[in-house]
Homo-oligomer: A and B are copies of this chain.
């Protein structure tokens, strides 16, 4: 019962729902189409969350999620719900139940996840923009892999009302677009803001983040880094972590995982749901996190926050790679995928921890495949990051 309005050669849309909302005429997003990840409630439809046993345990939503509603009110037509990794647990987009959306910009490669179908639909031109969510990288990673603009906004900036939660201290609503002007227009609506003309005052290049990259990816990103530095003006370099970014990742992994487990533990206990082994493994490890692990992770978190506060002073933004490289092939071994997830999380954990916004700019390619560069700001800097995206495109 896929929506008859949608031709879906990319396996981007959910096949078991037919959600459609017509935009209210006359708004700033009139005549645009969008899709929403299947974690956003749509009145009268079941929110599937990428897992058939989750879906089976839900009732139809009584209200439409806030973020969807405001876009429809602004004129955009919501034409379908998109595939997600199970309960948003994943950054690669290979769903063991529903398959893998197609990445038109990197054939044979994953789209990234967990907002996999949303990224696939935008990259493939099936919609003008799409809603996703980002807890541990789920907008930023697919934006990088699919060559899209994508924002993880300031934590708490966009209402999570009607969105399936994963880890509430880290969950955010984000969106994708191919073009910065459309990206900015959606931003004005969903951030309820007129935007800004002001750019960040200075760029700090995150040395230890770039050191994680293979040489070819490092080299491919340099022209984009230079363009960003030229636009903003003042630049410097710094190592973010006094110890290592893997320590930063681990504290975030522990704290996010504990919350993710608390979110679903009763449901799991009651229904013994089917997950891919990969997803179950993360929950089992989360279940076994000790209180002393939590305590020591909290201490490291506060060190990260202090360090990032210093680095971001005086309207700075951090420039870092969004991912370790372009999208990996579909069907990698679990062990290889786990390694890559852990490497990637050294980059994505930072905004998760600070709660600040991070934008992916789709400015580079490696071997013909997209790979993104990111800017990360202080909480509230969302508009300034979007303005960088807009101006870089204008300057092109």
Contacts and interface: CB of A to CB of B under 8 A. Distances in A.
Nearest to A335: B269
Interface stretch (A26-34, A144-152, A275-283): A275-283
A345 to B, nearest CB: 19
Counting contact residues on chain A (CB < 8 A from B), the size range is 20 to 34
A274 B335 contact: no
A332 to B, nearest CB: 9
Contact of A274 (B94, B275, B281): B275
Interface in A72-98: 94, 96-97
Contacts of A334: 268-270, 272
A158 B281 CA distance: 35
Contact of A276 (B270, B273, B285, B333): B273
Contacts of A94: 272
Contacts of A272: 94, 96, 276-278, 334, 337
A277 B277 contact: no
Interface in A275-298: 275-278, 280-281, 283-285, 287
Given A275-B274, A280-B280, A269 B97 contact: no
A277 B274 CA distance: 6
A283 B275 CA distance: 13
Contacts of A273: 96, 276-277
Interface of A: 53, 94, 96-97, 268-270, 272-278, 280-281, 283-285, 287, 333-335, 337
Given A97-B274, A268-B334, A273-B277, 17 more contacts: A53-B96, A96-B272, A269-B335, A270-B333, A270-B334, A272-B276, A272-B334, A272-B337, A274-B274, A275-B275, A275-B277, A275-B280, A277-B280, A277-B283, A280-B284, A281-B287, A284-B284
